[in-house]
Chain A
């Protein structure tokens, strides 16, 4: 009896141990990879590609390799301001003060004109990835990872901004790694448009992810206006058609050449742009492609190149550049780390016809990329562009913490091509 009970116990114990082993094996098989590695193919397992980081302490203007920069004939590029850590999105106030956001630092900066000298001021501190900024009638809106705040009469209160008022919060769905920093732009309808990206490289998003939303700044009501958008951190409204143009970063680890990053147009609310099922409008995802076809989503109006990482973009509405530049779209391409041969790190010009169709896609500001095979391959990374009141174009560079100014010198030298 005693023996039998022992035997029973032993059998039970063996069984439990076996189950334990099985559970451990199942657990091992189910271990998720880190977010950035997710979707990596077996061939790229040994990849030594690594992300780049801004130089937070910045590069002084005198140390920049600015003579390497190239712009079309008749244009000139100069340093507007250094000392703006991780300079990303830019907006301009009525008085010409440039407010600059960042993604990895914690402050928001202003480049203000103080009796003819430009001065960099810290206007907000202790923010959570305040990448998105927009201006509506003198009110500054700042999108952190998890909420959007408003600061009324920002110019008047520049030196002592009162605490921001919350427009909406709870917009960081996981509070974990993922594409959850925001790009923010004011729409012609007075609402704020922003992204909530995908939590990983390639995954099935929930209802609050991989989409573009808008929020009414008066009452905080949100609406989802586009789906199937993996990570859009560049948006602009066409000055004539008022349609929303936005970029989308393609997934990683499908190779150096596919998929292309995308330039899209939103033609109707709720439109689907394909992620995670379809990339660049015509390439089914190796995993998710069997669940939906490319026929069920809107293709991009322009393929931008693979891993070029389009960031801030604005339509040119100024009067300084030649007439042909009117309503051209200037797009900062950050360049990305997960491509063996690097490309991007420039500002491109997209020319559209009167119907909004792309007729030209050409480099405008280049020379940051020094060696496509080197590590690092570049000495600067454009992150946003902004049109100033005088018609010049500012370009932010988050790698060096610098803002450049591109101006047109007119026909006094050589006529523009």
Chain B
């Protein structure tokens, strides 16, 4: 795969660094401040994203109910999804081939780019029944525990509020059937107790959230 040279750091020493090094560090930090964590590069990601936006929409704001929106998604959930498509944990005839050619750095850059975009398009309108029952179901079935009170996601846990409806429902059904890649079975076990009718209501409610 990749060659790695051993690099070494002295530890346990609390010697003060020369001021010049400090200033240089500050300069470097300033110059690279547009980068997000882990050296991911939003601009490089934006350029690499040209193929992605053909299906996922401009800036990752998908208008297709079957294709997930990527704009404003948590970066780690995006890089995780790309990794899973490349390694075969997740399989999709449209996505898997694209992921094959991406390096880890590509994935981090793409994730940083789409995470930095604002979610703007809302194409789904929830039924009145879903709107009234949804908030309680999201609590009862533990969605809010990990996805957060507003279902905006955190770290590797994706934002699901306002996600495309058909995609969302397909993922939930996949988790329930234990055919969708998962982390430690957390989503599979969460979905396993959701009644089929409630699954439909939840997907309809969550897809219509405009946050």
Contacts and interface: CB of A to CB of B under 8 A. Distances in A.
B171 to A, nearest CB: 16
Nearest to A376: B155
A57 B186 contact: no
A35 interface: yes
Nearest to B106: A57
A405 B4 CA distance: 14
Interface in A27-80: 31-37, 47-53, 55-63, 66-67, 69-71, 73, 75-80
Contacts of A76: 8, 10-12
A69 B12 CA distance: 8
Contact of A104 (B3, B155, B184): B184
Residue from A33, A56, A67, A83 with most neighbouring chain B CB atoms (10 Å): A56
B79 A56 contact: yes
Interface string B177-188: 010000111101
Contacts of B156: 52-53
Given A34-B142, A50-B154, A126-B88, A63 B38 contact: yes
Given A117-B3, A120-B4, A57 B107 contact: yes
B30 interface: no
Nearest to A62: B39
A120 B1 contact: yes
B145 A50 contact: yes
A293 interface: no
A48 B185 contact: no
A16 to B, nearest CB: 21
Interface string A191-217: 000000000000000000000000000
B84 A77 contact: no
Interface string B136-160: 0000001001101100001111000
Residue from B10, B145, B157 with most neighbouring chain A CB atoms (10 Å): B145
Contacts of B192: 34, 176-177
Contacts of A34: 142, 186, 189-190, 192-193
Interface string A121-132: 110011000000
Interface in A103-129: 104-107, 114, 117-122, 125-126
Contacts, number: 142
- Classify the secondary structure of A's interface with B: loop
A59 B36 CA distance: 13
B207 interface: no
A50 B6 contact: no
Given A53-B183, A119-B1, A85 B7 contact: no
Interface of A: 31-37, 47-53, 55-63, 66-67, 69-71, 73, 75-83, 85, 104-107, 114, 117-122, 125-126, 176-178, 375-376, 405
14 contacts: A36-B189, A48-B148, A51-B186, A53-B76, A53-B157, A56-B80, A62-B39, A66-B9, A75-B12, A76-B10, A83-B2, A118-B3, A177-B184, A405-B6
Given A50-B146, A83-B2, A117-B3, 7 more contacts: A70-B12, A77-B11, A79-B9, A105-B87, A119-B1, A121-B1, A177-B189
Interface of B: 1-12, 37-39, 76, 79-80, 82-84, 87-89, 104-105, 107-108, 111, 142, 145-146, 148-149, 154-157, 178, 183-186, 188-190, 192-193
The 7 closest A-B pairs by CB, nearest first: A177-B185, A53-B156, A34-B189, A56-B83, A177-B189, A57-B104, A50-B146
